[in-house]
Amino acid sequence: MPASPIRKLTPFADQAKRDGKKVYHLNIGQPDIETPAGMLDAIKNIDFKVWSYTPSEGTLAYRTKLTEYYNKLAYNINPDEILVTVGGSEAITIAMQACINEGDEIIIPEPFYANYNGFACMSNVVVKPILSVIENGFALPPISEFEKLINRKTKAIIICNPNNPTGYLYSKQELEALRELCLKYNLFLFSDEAYREFCYDGQAFISPMHLKGLDEHVVVLDTVSKRYSACGARLGCLITKNKDVIAAGLKFAQARLSPGMVEQIAATAAIDTPKSYFEKVNKEYTLRRDALVSRLNKMQGVFCPNPGGAFYVVAKLPIDNADKFCQWMLEEFDYNNSTVMMAPATGFYSTKDAGKNEVRLAYVLNKEELEAAMTCLEQALKVYPGRV
C-alpha cells in the first residue's frame, strides 16, 4: 500500500442499523414531513434537453426568485448578494474559506452542529468553543466570555439560529449584543439559518440581517433542506452584502463549477409554497415538541428546556455517559421489542467531557411514535446500569 498516511477527520455519528427490533430514529435531522407538492411537480415538469451546468453562482432566475423570499423577511438584498451553494454544507465551507485564513480562529457557542468541526478541519480553521448551558436553555453565553477568547487570530463568530442541536431561538437582545461585539472587534458574524422557518409560540425570527451597521460583517448560511423538507436536494446559499466575500466565495464556487440545475428549478418553484404549508408544518412540530418536552420532564431525573425553534431538544438524563447509554439502548435494551436511537450530546461539544449526560432528540416522527419512543426511553432509564 502507498506510504501516504491517510488524513484523519472526526467521524460522523454512526448510522448503525439494528435489525430485529423497531428503532425510533430520533438521532437525525431527516424530517418525515412531505416536500411541498409544487416543488416536486417542478421536477416532474422539467422540459430541457441538455442537463447543463448553470452559472457557478446559481441561475439568475433562481437568485432573483430567492430575493422575493428574503425581502419578505426584510433582508433587503438583491440577486448579486446571493451565492447558490451545494447544500448548506457548502455555504458553511465557502464562508470559512472565503473569510478566514488558515490557522485563524472562529468562535462557536457549544453545543454546536458537529459538522462545523469537519468544515473547519477541511478549511484549516481553528474552532474556539464557548460553553452555553442547559440550565438557562442554552442561551447565548455572556459577552464577557466571548471577549476572553478574542485575540488577533479571531476572525468570526458563527451562530445557528434557531439552534441545532439545542433548538434555542436567539433573542433580539442577544443578537444586538453580538452586533456590538462584532463591530468592536471587527469580526464576521456567520448566521446559520437552516431552521429559520421553525419558530414556535408566536416568536419572531430575528436575523443579523435585520441589525444596523453590520452589512459588511454578516454572512447568512442557508439551505432548502429543512425549509421544504428537501434534504436530498443539496441546495443552499450564502448571502452577504460584503462584496469582497461574494467575490472570494465565487472563486471557490467556480472551482466546483455549478450547483445542481434540477434543484434550482425545483427550489425556484418552492418559493411559491403557500403559507398554509408552513403553518401546518409548524403546528405539527409544536405538537411534537410539546409532547416530547412534557414527557421528558416528567421522567425522574430528566431535565429538558422547552426550545423556541428548530426540531431538536437537548435533554439532561440521569446517566453516567451518553455515548455508552445510547449504545446500550441500541444493543442491550428493548421494550416491547423496540428501542430509541438518540445522538449523544458529546458529539456536539468541542470541550472534552462536556455534555456527557445529555442527548439530542430530533422530533422528526409523528406524535404517536414520539409518545411510544418516550415510553421506551422512560423504561430504559429505569433499568440502565449506569444510572446516576
For 46, other C-beta atoms within 10 Å of its C-beta total: 12
Region from 141-149, 191-199, 226-234, 355-363 binding a copy of itself, contact rule CB under 8 A: 226-234
- Within 93-132, the residues that bind a copy of itself by CB under 8 A are 93, 97-102, 104, 115, 118-119, 122, 124
**Contact criterion met (CB below 8 Å) for 136 and 303:** no
CB of 240 to a copy of itself, least distance (A): 11
| Options 175, 220, 230, 376; binder of a copy of itself; rule CB under 8 A | 230
Q: Positive or negative CA dihedral for 257, 102, 133, 354? A: positive
| Options 43, 177, 291, 354; binder of a copy of itself; rule CB under 8 A | 43
**Contact criterion met (CB below 8 Å) for 16 and 339:** no
- Within 305-344, the residues that bind a copy of itself by CB under 8 A are none
Q: Among residues 58 and 307, whose Cβ is nearest to a copy of itself?
A: 58
| Options 148, 172, 184, 251; binder of a copy of itself; rule CB under 8 A | 251
Cite the DSSP H helix spans in 58-205: 60-72, 87-99, 115-122, 143-149, 172-185
Region from 253-261, 276-284, 308-316, 327-335 binding a copy of itself, contact rule CB under 8 A: 253-261
Binding status of residue 156 toward a copy of itself by CB under 8 A: yes
Q: Among residues 135 and 180, whose Cβ is nearest to a copy of itself?
A: 180
- Within 345-384, the residues that bind a copy of itself by CB under 8 A are none
For 237, other C-beta atoms within 10 Å of its C-beta total: 26
Give CA separation, 26 vs 68, 224, 333, 373, in Å: 34, 21, 16, 9
Dig out the grid coordinates for 235 from the structure: 441546495
Cα–Cα distance for residue pair 238/222, rounded to 1 Å: 6
Chain-centre distance for alpha carbon 141:
19
**Contact criterion met (CB below 8 Å) for 155 and 100:** yes
Region from 4-12, 199-207, 285-293, 320-328 binding a copy of itself, contact rule CB under 8 A: 4-12
CB of 131 to a copy of itself, least distance (A): 24
Burial (CB count <10 Å: 0-12, 13-18, 19+), residue 5: exposed
Q: What angle do CA 255, 261, 263 make, to 5 degrees?
A: 110
- Within 178-217, the residues that bind a copy of itself by CB under 8 A are 182, 186-188, 216-217
Q: Among residues 49 and 72, whose Cβ is nearest to a copy of itself?
A: 49
CB of 59 to a copy of itself, least distance (A): 10
Binding status of residue 27 toward a copy of itself by CB under 8 A: no
CB of 336 to a copy of itself, least distance (A): 27
How, if at all, do strands 105-110 and 358-362 pair? unpaired
Region from 34-42, 296-304, 340-348, 372-380 binding a copy of itself, contact rule CB under 8 A: 34-42
Q: Among residues 192 and 334, whose Cβ is nearest to a copy of itself?
A: 192
